[in-house]
């Protein structure tokens, strides 16, 4: 049996050395170490040996198995190195690498980040809230009557549960005031949803940025100064800004804000960019009922709120004529802003 084991080991090492690829090497492994391999068959013959012969033959079998296994591993390493060398044959390592195109932030992200940084420098903190809202937080708490068009199913996305996709991020203002006490100075960027027909200036999902400041002596002049500074920071120091009287259920007085757009090759024109106003005392009174205290007593506090579309800011900043370009993910368009 000793001679048989030595012969098997010798044959195995020869077969492994002659293997020219992974398949041939694996065939050799199976032939000698597999379940029906030669060394495995020799080991099965141990049961016929005497108790004195078994330890000697067992040691020989272990030595042979270790030698064959080590040879297989060394051969695998050698074949891998050879394959690596062949894979780079013909490659000129002195050639410069291929340049990778650089990425960049989406234009909406750029505008949002700029807007947030500007307002944070003015003392506003970021606030967030759910996109699936209750009617109370989206409408009732904002002094929006039951017959207001915005509450119609033709204008708003409702769920069977009665909840809805928020139509503005003003609901974040209410949720913040439910938990915090004055002074409150927040901005709430996020998605809003309305059943608008999609065209060059409207989407059913858009990005909004709203702000709120409530304290004991907030004036209309504070609102005007805040938004003029913000818009000139976004569009340039010479940006012309005007406030037009308007109506919103949750602010009184209310205004729409226009800036004068100077597009190349066109006559300057005023374009609406935001809505704003002083928080209606009815909103504060409702909030006191909800909280069960008087920290937002309309006789003690005042405040202003404003809201604008981030998509509209981007369109004005870069002269984009079709809002759909911002969501189509056309690389040819987006790479202009990278």
Residues that constitute the known binding site:
252
Cα–Cα dist 169/176, whole Å: 11
Question: Closest by alpha carbon to 166, among 144, 138, 185?
Answer: 138
Cα–Cα dist 119/114, whole Å: 9
> What separation, in Å, do the N-terminal and C-terminal C-alpha atoms of the chain show?
76
Pick out the residues of the known binding site for Mg(2+): 252
Sheet holding 205-215, edge to edge: 125-126, 184-193, 205-215, 302-309, 269-279, 251-261, 241-248
Phi, psi dihedral angles at 322 (to 5 degrees) = -130, 115
């Amino acid at each position: 049996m000793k001679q048989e084991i030595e012969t098997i080991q010798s044959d195995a090492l020869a077969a492994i050395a002659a293997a020219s690829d992974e398949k041939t090497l694996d065939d050799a492994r199976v032939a000698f170490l597999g379940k029906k391999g030669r060394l495995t068959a020799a080991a099965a013959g141990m049961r016929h040996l005497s108790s004195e012969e078994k330890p000697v033959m067992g040691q020989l079998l272990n030595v042979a198995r270790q030698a064959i296994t080590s040879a297989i591993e060394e051969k695998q390493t050698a074949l891998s190195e050879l394959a690596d060398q062949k894979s780079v044959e013909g490659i000129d390592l002195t050639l410069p690498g291929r340049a990778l195109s650089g990425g960049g932030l989406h234009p909406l992200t750029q505008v949002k980040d700029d807007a947030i940084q500007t307002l944070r420098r003015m003392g506003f903190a970021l606030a967030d809230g759910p996109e699936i809202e209750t009617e109370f937080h989206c409408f009732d708490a904002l002094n929006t009557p039951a017959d207001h068009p915005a509450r119609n199913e033709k204008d708003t996305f409702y769920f069977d549960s009665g909840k809805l996709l928020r139509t503005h991020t003003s609901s974040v203002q209410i949720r913040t005031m439910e938990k915090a006490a004055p002074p409150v100075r927040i901005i709430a960027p996020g998605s809003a949803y309305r059943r608008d027909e999609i065209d060059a200036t409207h989407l059913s999902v858009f990005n909004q940025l709203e702000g709120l400041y409530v304290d004991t002596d907030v004036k209309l002049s504070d609102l005007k100064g805040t938004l003029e500074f913000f818009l000139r920071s976004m569009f340039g120091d010479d940006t012309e800004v005007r406030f037009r009287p308007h109506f919103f259920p949750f602010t009184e007085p209310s205004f729409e804000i226009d800036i004068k757009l100077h597009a190349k090759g066109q006559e300057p024109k005023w374009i609406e960019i935001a809505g704003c106003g002083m928080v209606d005392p009815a909103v504060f009174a409702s909030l006191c009922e909800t909280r069960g205290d008087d920290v937002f007593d309309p006789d003690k506090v005042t405040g202003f709120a404003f809201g604008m579309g981030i998509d509209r800011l981007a369109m004005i900043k870069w002269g984009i004529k079709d809002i759909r370009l911002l969501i189509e993910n056309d690389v040819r368009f987006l790479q202009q802003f990278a």
